[in-house]
Structure 1
Amino acid sequence: MAKRDYYEVLGVAKNASEDDIKKAYRKMAMKHHPDRNQGEGAKASEEKFKEAKEAYEMLSDAQKRQAYDQFGHAGVDPNAGGFRGGPEGFGGGGFAEAFGDIFGDIFSQGGGGGGQRRGGQQVYRGADLSYAMEITLEEAALGKEAQIRIPTWEECDTCHGSGAKPGTSAKTCTTCHGSGTVHLRQGFFSIQQTCPHCHGTGKIIPEPCTTCNGQGKVKKQKTLEVKIPAGINEGQRIALRGHGEPGTQGGPAGDLYVEIRIKQHDIFERDGDDLHCTVPVSVITAALGGSVSVPTLGGEAEIELPEGTQHGKTFRLRGKGIKGIRSNYPGDLYCHIQIEIPIKLSEHQRKLLKELDESLKKGGDKHSPTAKSWTDRMKDLFK
């Protein structure tokens, strides 16, 4: 039977990129893989799988693809000297070498820890950890150096990290012969996975250390120095590299992320680099105007209230906010005026206020901050 065009087999155009060819092959391989097609139709799927594999082998190699584009199947026929044949005519490296990158992508999806090979064994990076640290607004604005205590793993003093009971030693795993991996075969297809007996260590411990239960490490507490930069904000994180969970089989440790939580302040509210505060003033001060002291993170400051300052009026003090980590200049402080109404008045004070009220009423609308008094506006509403 004449072979089908390789581009047609993979469903790609003749000018397809290497990435397009790889993606098309992965899709075909997943669809027609023997493990996914059992029973009726398995033979047909296996043939399509082999056909797709052969097409990818030719088109993923630049020299073979060029020969195929020029001379067709004759240009890559091993019997015609187009290339050096190997097992099944698919190159000297055979199936595992030619397609290791493809199936490495397919079967490594979803694997955790960033596994790598080292000395024939699978090694994994340790997990990242998170630590919540609560600081004050002043500490966030000015920065500080702090210490935290976290749990960590250290080498067991009893077995010195071997995991074996003193006087004994670990043995080579008889399942994987010390490699840490085993191969599962189904027909011509082979998958490599972590040895289920030794869990990738390549060794078995007949008599585990009673102190660490064969882990070779014990959990302890350690103290770390944390430098909090000035201007840090709520939710920002500081990375302490290599202080996460330890890796396995010699893999690198993960990182520790210190996440900042800022305590609620009695006076200020933060909005980015700006600060907001409420400034209570008396009715008399608001009416007559005058100098009022307001708090800042650096001490007190003065603002001048004009005569007739109304409730809710906002005064802006430039540069009295917080200089953020990525800011060139500090933010501003916004002071919101809150007029306080006196309570528990004496009879004399009541009399004075009534006299003031009568005097203001005689003046008409000229004492009102609006064009008309409240009474007049209500009358207009119900006309």
Structure 2
Amino acid sequence: MTGGALRAHVVAPRKGGFRLDAEVSAAPGEIVGVMGPSGAGKSTLLAVIAGLLRPESGTVQLDGVDLQRRRVPASRRGIVLLGQEPHLFPHMTARQNVGFGLRARGVEREQAARSADEWLWNVGLDGFGDHAPRELSGGQQQRVALARALATEPRLLLLDEPLTALDAETAGDIRALLHHQLVSTRTTALVVTHDTVDAVALAQRLVVIEAGAVTQQGPVREVLAAPATRFVAVAAGVNRVQGTARAGAWHSGGEPAVVLTARAHTKVADGAALAALVRPGSVVLERPADLSWTGALRLARVEEVTPNTWLARIVRLEQTPAGVRVHTAEPRFAVDLPVDRVAELQLTPGDPVRLSVKPSDVRLLPV
């Protein structure tokens, strides 16, 4: 099967005091990732496209047919929405759950059962057809839900963070299964996720929605390589700080002044907005001569500004799988350190620290 072509422009009110006004498209068989902070409007976008929520205005076109204008109900759109919970029918077996959509379309019982068993085999649950949902693990239930979604050959599959409720190992297995099934069936899909791994592993293109508007979109690799907002930078695992250009360098404009230079020359007019990208693991953190913020700041004010070296203040410490991430302010930077290094320096929130980075580890991008 091959999915449909989607073009949607959704305008809908949101509880957060803003309106969702976003456009999204997908070519037949294309998998598009949708990322954004909580409350940005991602789930609202999917609900409108699925026909579960009436928008304020806009269009939802599938293969050129405006489903919104024609008021096509959700049950007749050929669109399936799969969320965090599998929502299996508890009184049905796995086979009956998978075959439910086929039966609703008029497929004979025996044919629906054969198709359901084939799909259960496709998702790695061969022999589980007679099991009730309560007899299955969370990951197995999500596999059944995926099989049920794909069995009806949807023109568009909407996935709303389907891996969030799963443990890391199970999520990895389902992610690999999802990618294989979506590609092999050429299903058009929108995948809403908070996980960058999902976007990289599943999607060909990425759309970022913040505060109800699309702030960046393009091929996944290009978006993550050149994040246009702080949210995308965090998702990509890099620091993104905005300043102004002066003599080809990045200037913070704050006090004490911070100047960042990069090995690659950036042609930007003086005074233009400029973003600096630095990976947290590339930043070197040391203690200043004076361990009090007031004393360290006083010394910084009389010292000559040294490019790529600056005084900062610790805001918080955050544990990571590889150690500790130290968050600093003035400007906002994250620094990754081993646990023993944090213990050695006796770092606590409020402490002053001196940060430095090599020009080769700095990328400057025009805003």
TM-score by length of 1: 0.24
Asked which structure has the greater RCO (Cα within 8 Å, sep 6+), the reply is: 2
Larger C-alpha radius of gyration, 1 or 2? 1
